[in-house]
Amino acid sequence: MDTDRRITIVGAGLAGAVLATLLAQRGWGVDVYEKRGDPRVQGYAGGRSINLALAERGRHALRLAGADEAVMRQAVMMRGRMVHFLDGRTDLQRYGRDDSEVIWSVHRGELNVILLDIAQHAGVRLHFHRGLESVDFAARRARFVDPRDGSAHEAQFVSLVGADGAGSALRAAMARQADLGERTEYLGHSYKELEIPPAPDGGFRIEPNALHVWPRGRYMCIALPNDERTFTVTLFLPNAGEPSFASVRSGADARALFARDFADALPLIPDLERDFERNPTGLLATLYLDRWHLAGEAVLLGDAAHAMVPFHGQGMNCAFEDCVALAGHLDAQPDRAAAFAAFQAERLPNARAIQAMALENYLEMRDRVDDDDYLLQRALERA
């Protein structure tokens, strides 16, 4: 095979699998190295139902990769935000005028499995249990370690693509070669996932075709539907103050908070204490880089390049757009350094804009969607 059309991707998550497919479909030889085991064999790590909002930006990439149909079979439509007021009233704020303007809730684990199947079918070579440890850029050799037994495996590469998420090991290796202008801004708020199980009759306990929001000023709860008739609830709280993850520490504390502030949600979450104590508390941060590539040797995309807070539901969608852009530039431009530079020039300003919108949307979702003026304005827009 022509070595100029070979590429090595680190990370078989959402972006890694889509980029691999897009390139393999264009005749590239693609190797993907993933730290975890194959989720198709051992189930998705964590086992919990974690879902993501998929928007048109992301669906465009899935269509190009030939994955949209399979993904949409398990997606649940969300027509708008269902706002839950403190007094128990609810209000559906539609995203668009009709069902042609909606977003979709997709199961992260099922999505990853579909994307891996499609990648493999396209001829991508997938290597699981291979966590990138270090890179010798001069010799173009990468060293991977099997987390199960610590054994080391080396691989020669033409170029490396970092699709290894917010804690990217490739980014750390690149930063040892050149200043990437990296900075991380922590939000000072964190999150915890909880679950609403199916109703006793097997159906959904609340309106399935909506993204539910319980806005409470400095904090909030959201819930997205899963096709198995559950909802993944995410509680967002500050790290300090009252209430916060510093003051709400135990399952009993969480129950008291819900009884006071999310009273209509409380009976929907029977295992609140268990979920709260068992599930990790996730940090929220925005990652900014001034440089996404090292000449033609390595490039970053998705969360590895621009992790963002989740309030616009666009991290994955933006990562999928990156995949389409990078595959296009690599295909059009045989000089890797030029292709990576063109990719960065196209996508970095977009990523910055989406990162800013994601931060703004936290204020809107937790504070403004239950504001009377805001509701009046939305009602007039819909009229």
Per DSSP, the residues of 267-314 read: GG-TTHHHHHHHSPEEEEEEEE-S--EETTTEEE-THHHH---GGGS-
Q: Does 132 bind ligand FAD (CB under 6 A)?
A: yes
Kindly tell me which of 306 and 329 has the beta carbon lying closer to ligand FAD: 306
Q: Does 142 bind ligand FAD (CB under 6 A)?
A: no
The amino acid at residue 131 is G
Rounded CA Rg of the chain? 21
- Give yes or no for a contact between 237 and 248, defined as CB atoms under 8 angstroms apart: yes
**Looking at the chain, which runs of residues are DSSP E strands?**
6-10, 29-33, 51-54, 76-78, 80-84, 90-94, 103-107, 125-127, 131-136, 141-145, 152-156, 160-162, 183-196, 211-215, 220-225, 231-238, 281-288, 293-294, 298-300
Strands 76-78 and 103-107: antiparallel
Among the residue ranges 76-84, 240-248, 260-268, 316-324, the one whose residues contact ligand FAD (CB under 6 A): 316-324
Among residues 303, 321, 347, 358, which is the contact residue for ligand FAD, using CB under 6 A? 303
Distance CA 251, CA 240 (A): 18
Among the residue ranges 31-39, 78-86, 290-298, 373-381, the one whose residues contact ligand FAD (CB under 6 A): 31-39
Kindly tell me which of 243 and 313 has the beta carbon lying closer to ligand FAD: 313
Binding marks (x or -) toward ligand FAD, 53..72, rule CB under 6 A?
A: x-------------------
The encoded tokens of residue 271 equal 């295992």
Question: Please, which of residues 152-171 interact with ligand FAD by CB under 6 A?
Answer: 163-165, 169
Among residues 21, 24, 30, 34, which is the contact residue for ligand FAD, using CB under 6 A? 34
Among the residue ranges 5-13, 85-93, 251-259, 291-299, the one whose residues contact ligand FAD (CB under 6 A): 5-13
Among residues 8, 124, 310, 329, which is the contact residue for ligand FAD, using CB under 6 A? 310
Beta-bridge partner residues of 90: 84
CB of 224 to ligand FAD, least distance (A): 7
Q: How far is CA 63 from CA 52, 68, 163, 321, 346, in A?
A: 18, 5, 20, 12, 21
Among the residue ranges 28-36, 182-190, 213-221, 247-255, the one whose residues contact ligand FAD (CB under 6 A): 28-36
CB of 36 to ligand FAD, least distance (A): 5
CB of 107 to ligand FAD, least distance (A): 12
Interface with ligand FAD: number of residues (CB under 6 A): 32
Binding marks (x or -) toward ligand FAD, 81..120, rule CB under 6 A?
A: ----------------------------------------
Kindly tell me which of 85 and 238 has the beta carbon lying closer to ligand FAD: 238
Kindly tell me which of 34 and 195 has the beta carbon lying closer to ligand FAD: 34
Of the candidates 72, 141, 57, 137, which has an alpha carbon nearest to the alpha carbon of residue 110?
A: 72
Distance CA 97, CA 382 (A): 7
Cα dihedral angle (339, 340, 345, 346), rounded to 10 degrees?
70
Q: Scanning the structure block, which residue is given the tokens 């929001």?
A: 213
Distance CA 124, CA 131 (A): 18
Kindly tell me which of 131 and 243 has the beta carbon lying closer to ligand FAD: 131
CB of 256 to ligand FAD, least distance (A): 24
Kindly tell me which of 109 and 165 has the beta carbon lying closer to ligand FAD: 165
State the residues that interact with ligand FAD by CB under 6 A: 10-16, 33-36, 52-53, 131-132, 163-165, 169, 191, 234, 282, 302-304, 310, 313-317, 319
